[in-house]
Amino acid sequence: GESVGLHLPTLSVQEGDNSIINCAYSNSASDYFIWYKQESGKGPQFIIDIRSNMDKRQGQRVTVLLNKTVKHLSLQIAATQPGDSAVYFCAENKWNNAGNMLTFGGGTRLMVKP
């Protein structure tokens, strides 16, 4: 089946630098994408989402970019802080008769060095 995957399993950045986490998806029919942050021992938390009719969306210190031509999604974190250390998951949402079905990527671990 189609799935969402990630390029980098681990990303280490210096505090204050910008981080970029990448995600590739294979389902061209996916119309909605979400980034989640999961801290150790906790459930994933929603960060930001983007619809397929957009190519960029900004939040507080985070930006999601969507390139439908190459089926690529990225999460950019500005001025990375120690509290940003976590595993980040991208997910694609394809609507079916059962409702909201998210397919998650394998996750990227972000480590922020002080």
Partner 1 sequence: SQTIHQWPATLVQPVGSPLSLECTVEGTSNPNLYWYRQAAGRGLQLLFYSVGIGQISSEVPQNLSASRPQDRQFILSSKKLLLSDSGFYLCAWSPLGQGDEKLFFGSGTQLSVL
Decide: is 113 part of the binding site for partner 1 (CB under 8 A).
no
Question: Applying CB under 8 A, which of residues 17, 28, 51, 59 lies at the interface with partner 1?
Answer: 51
Decide: is 46 part of the binding site for partner 1 (CB under 8 A).
yes
Q: Total binding residues for partner 1 by CB under 8 A? A: 25
Q: How far is CA 80 from CA 30, 31, 50, in A?
A: 29, 29, 21
CA gap 71, 18 in Å, rounded: 23
CA gap 8, 10 in Å, rounded: 6
Q: Which residues bind partner 1 (CB under 8 A)?
A: 31-32, 34, 36, 41-46, 49, 51, 89, 91, 93, 95, 98-102, 104-107
